[in-house]
Structure 1
Amino acid sequence: MATTRENKGTRAFNDTIREYLEGMAENDALFAVKFANPTKSMDDCVNYIINQVQKSGCNGFTDDEIFGMAVHYWEENEIEVGKPLTNCKVVVNHAVELTEEEKEKARQDAMNRLRDEEMAKMRKPIQPKKTT
């Protein structure tokens, strides 16, 4: 199953939906059959959810409402997904876990920024004090 690659929020959203659906498929044999449908995809599922959210005009939804939309997408044979929305922001209400590589890169980036800021301060010419 492919996932959207626009930004970390969208990836986290895709991952959260996928993990929920995979867990549901493990515990519900009837849903597992529908979830294995080769004509459906996680990208289309997420597009369906985002389009439904946009149509509603609301900005906030409970987890159950979003998961319900995801399940509905997989359970319906004929469902209009809608066009992919490329200019939208998805907010996931849980912490995104970084990999060890991402943590190390963030630490290195922070150290480099601090070093650059301190070097810039050292290069700044000292302004003579005005005396009256």
Structure 2
Amino acid sequence: MKTSNAFKETIKAYLDKRASEDELFAVTYQKENKNLDECCNYVVQCAKEGKCEGYDPTEVFGWAVHYYDEDDIKNIKPINCRVVVNQAVELTEEDKALAKKQAMDLVIEESKEEAKKNLSETIELSEEDIQAAKNQAIEKIASDQKEKLVAKAAKKKPTAEVEQIDLFE
């Protein structure tokens, strides 16, 4: 496995911070026979050996520090796996409103396209009648869909957090 940038950066940020706050670890962290890629491989190996699907960050970071502390930990081979790093993303109310609007616009456009397709395949009228019927149907479907989405968004209650299974809970 070539470790993901998010995983490497998370481990590196922790180790850098620890080194800036702990002079003894700062010396250990500079060992020439140690490197971040192998450290990440060691962390993944520890996680795999633990046979859990998620770990507390303190445990994960503890493995990273342990890798640098112990000189006999070396030649750690990469493991083919996927690592998930939880990173909270805070959206502003404006961002949330914009995302909702974009989602609604997308659903409306998809509904219009579906209505156009369905209408063009099933109705046998004059061109003028077809166009008028299409326009009326499209507007009705779009309006109904928008009303449903608005009602659904208004009724939607916050859902419980979904449990992520990963190295960082």
Query: Same fold per TM (> 0.5)?
Result: yes
For 2:63, which of 69, 74, 78 is the aligned residue? 69
1:128 and 2:128 matched: no
* TM-score under structure 1 length normalisation: 0.66
Amino acid in the other structure paired with 1:46: C
Structure having the larger proportion of residues in helix = 2
Cα deviation digits, residues 78-118 of structure 1 (max 9, x gap): 104532023x1212232269xxxxxxxxx9xx89xx4x957
Amino acid in the other structure paired with 1:15: E
Aligned to 1:57: 51
Pick 1 or 2: higher relative contact order, CA cutoff 8 A, min separation 6: 2
Q: Which is greater in Rg? A: 2
* TM-score under structure 2 length normalisation: 0.53
User: Structure 1 stretches (4+) deviating beyond 6 angstroms?
Assistant: none
Query: Residues 124 and 42 from structure 1, CA distance in 2 versus in 1: closer, same or farther, beyond 3 angstroms?
Result: same
TM-fit CA distance, 1:119:
8.2
| Cα contact 1:12–1:96 (8 A) shared by 2 | no
1:94 and 2:87 matched: yes
User: 1: distance between equivalents of 2:112 and 2:30?
Assistant: 56
User: 1: distance between equivalents of 2:88 and 2:26?
Assistant: 28
User: 1: distance between equivalents of 2:26 and 2:116?
Assistant: 63
Instruction: Report the aligned-residue RMSD.
Output: 2.9
- Report how many aligned residue pairs link the two structures: 109
Residue range with higher mean Cα deviation, 118-127 or 76-85: 118-127
Query: Residues 119 and 68 from structure 1, CA distance in 2 versus in 1: closer, same or farther, beyond 3 angstroms?
Result: same
Q: Name the SS for the 1:124 alignment partner.
A: helix
Query: Residues 47 and 25 from structure 1, CA distance in 2 versus in 1: closer, same or farther, beyond 3 angstroms?
Result: same
1:48 and 2:42 matched: yes
Aligned to 1:11: 5
TM-fit CA distance, 1:56:
1.5
Unaligned runs of 5+ in 2: 91-98, 125-169
